[in-house]
Structure 1
């Protein structure tokens, strides 16, 4: 699984969450939501500088974005691309089947 984060999304994370170089963002599954890969579940995120078992991660502009092994099922063989929609002022998640 690959994780990619756009420059616009990086800027959003830093401004909205007050993140600094070396901080880590964990993506995780949460019940009672919606996503194109898992009905009834949504993708959540939190600042978590103490990962337990990183299954996938990427580092960009001093930040680390990751998914732990226990949440890998949520992606169902998809890669994650995180972007930011300025008009709606929200993050956008795109999922593409891993090759």
Structure 2
């Protein structure tokens, strides 16, 4: 599993979540929401956790983005791509 983040999405994280060099962003499975890869679940985002048992991670401009092993099932072998939607003015998650 790989994680990729577009530059506009990175800029969103910096501006909206006030992350900077040395910070972490965790993508985790949460119950509820819509548009998820698994019915009844969606992705959550946290800047409060450091990697414990990451199954995937990438660092861009000093910010480490990661998914823990316990959430790997949600992705069903897909890679996570994060982009910014100018139309919606928010980030979007794509699994491919």
Same fold (TM over 0.5): yes
- How many residue pairs were aligned? 96
Query: What displacement does 1:87 show?
Result: 1.9
Query: What displacement does 1:95 show?
Result: 0.7
Which 4+ runs in 1 deviate beyond 4 A?
Answer: none
1:22-75 deviations in whole A, cap 9, x for unaligned? 101000000012335201100111103422111110111211100001000110
TM-score (norm 1): 0.91
Segments of 5+ residues of structure 2 without an aligned counterpart are none
- Where 2:32 maps in the other structure, the secondary structure is strand
Segments of 5+ residues of structure 1 without an aligned counterpart are none
- Where 1:14 maps in the other structure, the secondary structure is helix
In the alignment, what sits opposite 1:14?
14
- Where 1:73 maps in the other structure, the secondary structure is helix
CA separation in 1, counterparts of 2:36 and 2:71?
16
RMSD, aligned CA: 1.1
Asked if the contact 1:23/1:49 (under 8 Å) is kept, the reply is no
- Where 1:70 maps in the other structure, the secondary structure is helix
- Where 1:87 maps in the other structure, the secondary structure is coil
In the alignment, what sits opposite 1:37?
37
- Where 1:15 maps in the other structure, the secondary structure is helix
